[in-house]
Structures are given as C-alpha cells and as structure tokens.
Structure 1
C-alpha cells in the first residue's frame, strides 16, 4: 500500500543566498518534506518504513552547505533523500527563507519541487 512519511517545519540557520551579505549574515530557514513510499509490511518495526530521523539528518547535511538558490537547496535535498532511502518513490521538498532581503517587508520566500525515482 502506498503511503507518505513527512516532516514539517524543520528549522535551520544557514548562509544561503545570491548576495555576499546573505552568505556572511545568514538567515532562518524552514524545510517541509514529504516522502512517498510503499508500506509492504505493517509489523510495527522501524525497518518497515522510512525513518524520519534519517530524513532529518539527510536534510541537515544539505542545509549546512552554503548555496545561492532555494531551488538548488530543494533539489539537492530531494536527490539526497532518494539516494539515502531505497524505499522512497517520490520526494516533495519546500524550502522557506524567512524575511528575505528584497528591499521591503516580506515574511518569507520559498521554492518547492518534487523529484521521482
């Protein structure tokens, strides 16, 4: 049976951005992640699903590397999730940058994508 494992609101501080100031000062980010899989056994064992602790660790590894674009972050997170989890079929990632430097008030900017095996 098909199902999903999700993590919402993972909070990170990172040095991502196109402008030099963003790379020096950093910013707050939130990542939402949804992973589609097949639940072949419902035996109440961790090995029968995708471990969300592993999903967090994979996401954190990508978030630690400074990059210019939110789209690149989302893509690399999705790619890593698929590489690290053989049972993952499809990954949806949303990366949110809080209070982006756009010359005015803005709560957040985001990029979202899906990547399939």
Structure 2
C-alpha cells in the first residue's frame, strides 16, 4: 500500500457465531482496519475533504458489527468491506481483521481470527 489509513484494535460487543449461546450472550470482537487511499492532496492542503475521515469509517464499522448477527466472521468482514467501498469512493483497497477472543474451542488460545482484503474492482465484479 502506497498511502494507507488504519484503525487498530477497535473493540465491540456483538452477537456473532454459529452457536446459539454466542448469538444470545454475545462477546467482545476486536477489529483492525487498513485501507489504501490516495491522500496526497489532503496532506499537501491539510484538507479533510480530500481524504477519508477516520471517525466516519469507525461509525460504519461499528454500525455493521453491533447492528447485525453473522454466523461467520468471514461474512462480517466481507460486509464491512462492501459497505466501506459504498460509503467512501476514495478507498482503493481495504483489509479487515476480525478477532474473536472467546472462541468456543476446547483448548488454550488467545483468539480466532479472519483477515480479508479486497480491491474495489474485486468487490464491484461480485456485485
């Protein structure tokens, strides 16, 4: 990525998972967002209107994570990517990582996660 913006370790309480107890009780999810964006004009002119607002990106992600229930983290990540491309025309490539710290696996691990990245053209082809 030539120029990128990122939001790191966002924490949300949500109700995603295959098991009914996950959908009823909920748990914490930790998300990382990174996007390629041409913000040269914003940097030169110190102009927020020529780049993408971190706070607006955060609002879109929060709305999706907290407002819906998904069985799969993969589906959640894909929905976030699609909606961000729809909302922000300056984004060229997006990477989303979704971590689930309290994964119901009998074993010792800190989290399960998915990481997905897509270019705008890839998402537009699948629409």
| TM-score (norm. length: structure 1) | 0.95
Q: Which residue is equivalent to 1:44?
A: 46
Structure 1 distance, partners of 2:22, 2:109, is 16
Deviation at 1:6, TM superposition (A): 0.5
* Structure 1 segments unaligned to the other structure (5+ residues): none
Structure 1 residue 45 displacement after superposition: 1.2
The size of the alignment, in residue pairs, is: 116
- Counterpart position of 2:16: 16
Tell whether the 8 Å contact from 1:99 to 1:105 is kept in structure 2 after alignment.
no
User: Structure 2: any 5+ residue segments left out of the alignment?
Assistant: 121-127
Once superposed, which parts of structure 1, at least 4 consecutive aligned residues long, lie more than 3 Å away? none
TM-score (norm 2): 0.87
Check conservation: 1:79, 1:115, Cα contact below 8 A. Answer: no
Confirm or deny: 8 A CA contact 1:11 1:30 kept in the other structure.
yes
When the two chains are superposed, the root-mean-square deviation of aligned CA atoms in Å is: 1.0
Query: Which has a greater percent of strand?
Result: 1
Aligned to 2:124: none
